[in-house]
Amino acid sequence: MNEALEAVIRLGIGAGVIMIALWLSLVLKGFDRKFAAWLQARYGPPLRQPFWDVFKLFQKENVVPERAVSWAFNGAPLMALVGSLVLVMFIPLGPVGGVVAGWMPVLEGYGDLILVVYLLAIPGLMMAIGGFASGSPLATVGAQREMVMMMSYEFPLAIVVLALAWRITNLSRGLESFSLKAIVENPLWGEVGILGIVGLALLFGVFFLIIPSELSKIPFDAPEAETEIGGGIIAEYSGTNLGLFYIADAVKTLAFLSLAVALFVPYNISPLLNVGGIGAYVLDLLFWLFKVEVLYFLAVTVIRVGAARLKIDKLSWLYLVPLSALAVVGSLLLYLDTL
């Protein structure tokens, strides 16, 4: 009976988290567009613009091309959104540890980092399936590029995650190696020596460069490449389906940035300022939002405004060779630090 009650409570919290994640991710997208405009000396759209975009897309006609495989074409956007929302259930959306020890992801304990890495692939995979199902050459080109890109950036991402998980086990405090909870509650920066700090910084750098490509943002937007293959993967999508992809992209952005914050900067500000009680909750939440937005700004907005699109072969090489090598060096330094 207790288990049933717990399941109901988790369902309720989960529904709340979904609503908050949907709202917050669209707001962050609004900030992204505003800041990008400011960087280009433009005034930029209002912060509510992503909401208007989504509402408009839901009012448009939903075209399914004659040559498309309609069940896969219509199913892919929905599954992409479901994938990103499930992801949000496993990643702490908010400050963790310290005063607010209770703020853990809804499905904490039901999945670990390995599951998160697999779930991260789902929205991209669904976009590729939708692209292949569109029956349009542009979408097929985009889908193939998406697959190539996923194969490229998953490799350094896996190395980074493995290195962190290994180091957490090596603390020999009986922590579960791939548990996100263990990682956010024991920030590694304070646990390692100087070599380890250099190694962690390298891993953080690699993860930082994986962010824009995982989210298919310029200069890593070869699968969409609006000016080249007219939207690529989503070229044939319109109306509701396009709106679902739009939201899925926003939610995945929020989830991935929260993951980056949880893995590398899970610090709270309230202990530093000696604030307690309800003030600490508010302060830590604001600080967490600040961290996410700073990361969004640096890893997505600035890079997207400042760089031109990379060709898919160069992009793949960048992740498979130099960044993977950097990740390996970082892991080696982490290892050497323990000797």
Partner 1 sequence: MKLTKSFDKSLWVFHVNAASCNGCDIEIVAALTPRYDVERFGIKLVGTPRHADVLLVTGPVNRQMADRVRRVYEQTPGPKAVLICGNCGATSGVYYDSYCIEGPFDEFIKKVDPNAIIVYVPGCPVRPEAITFGVVQAWKALEKLRGEA
- Site membership for partner 1, residue 239 (CB under 8 A): yes
Site for partner 1 in 60-99 (CB under 8 A): 60-63
Q: Which of 83, 231, 266, 330 binds partner 1 (CB under 8 A)?
A: 231
Query: Six-digit token pair at 216?
Result: 């298919």
> Smaller CB distance to partner 1: residue 62 or 179?
62
| CB 68 to partner 1: min, Å | 11
Give the interface segment with partner 1, choosing from 144-152, 184-192, 232-240, 331-339 (CB under 8 A): 232-240
- Site membership for partner 1, residue 296 (CB under 8 A): no
Backbone angles phi, psi at 8, to 5 degrees: -65, -45
3-state secondary structure the chain: CHHHHHHHHHHHHHHHHHHHHHHHHHHHHHHHHHHHHHHCCCCCCCCCHHHHHHHHHHHCCCCCCCCCCHHHHHHHHHHHHHHHHHHHHHCCCCCCECCECCCCCCCCCCCCHHHHHHHHHHHHHHHHHHHHHCCCHHHHHHHHHHHHHHHHHHHHHHHHHHHHHHHHHHCCCCCCCCCHHHHHHCCHHHCCCHHHHHHHHHHHHHHHHHHHHHCCCCCCCCCCCHHHHCCHHHCCCCHHHHHHHHHHHHHHHHHHHHHHHHHHCCCCCHHHHCCCHHHHHHHHHHHHHHHHHHHHHHHHHHHHHHCCCCCHHHHHHHHHHHHHHHHHHHHHHHHHHHC
Q: Which of 125, 202, 242, 303 binds partner 1 (CB under 8 A)?
A: 242
For residues 26 and 51, the answer to whether their CB atoms sit within 8 Å is: yes
| CB 18 to partner 1: min, Å | 21
| CB 39 to partner 1: min, Å | 10
Binding pattern for the stretch 7-46 against partner 1, x by CB under 8 A and - elsewhere: --------------------------x---x--xxxxxxx
Q: Which of 2, 172, 227, 274 binds partner 1 (CB under 8 A)?
A: 227
Site size toward partner 1 (CB under 8 A) is: 33
Cα distance between residue 156 and residue 16, in whole Å: 33
Cα distance between residue 92 and residue 255, in whole Å: 9
Q: Which of 6, 8, 12, 55 binds partner 1 (CB under 8 A)?
A: 55
- Site membership for partner 1, residue 144 (CB under 8 A): no
Site for partner 1 in 197-226 (CB under 8 A): 226
| CB 263 to partner 1: min, Å | 34
| CB 38 to partner 1: min, Å | 10
Q: Which of 26, 29, 35, 53 binds partner 1 (CB under 8 A)?
A: 53
Give the interface segment with partner 1, choosing from 215-223, 228-236, 292-300, 304-312 (CB under 8 A): 228-236
Q: Which of 51, 155, 297, 317 binds partner 1 (CB under 8 A)?
A: 51
> Smaller CB distance to partner 1: residue 237 or 267?
237
| CB 136 to partner 1: min, Å | 9
Residues at the contact surface with partner 1, assessed by CB under 8 A: 33, 37, 40-46, 49, 51-53, 55-56, 59-63, 138, 226-227, 229-231, 234-239, 242
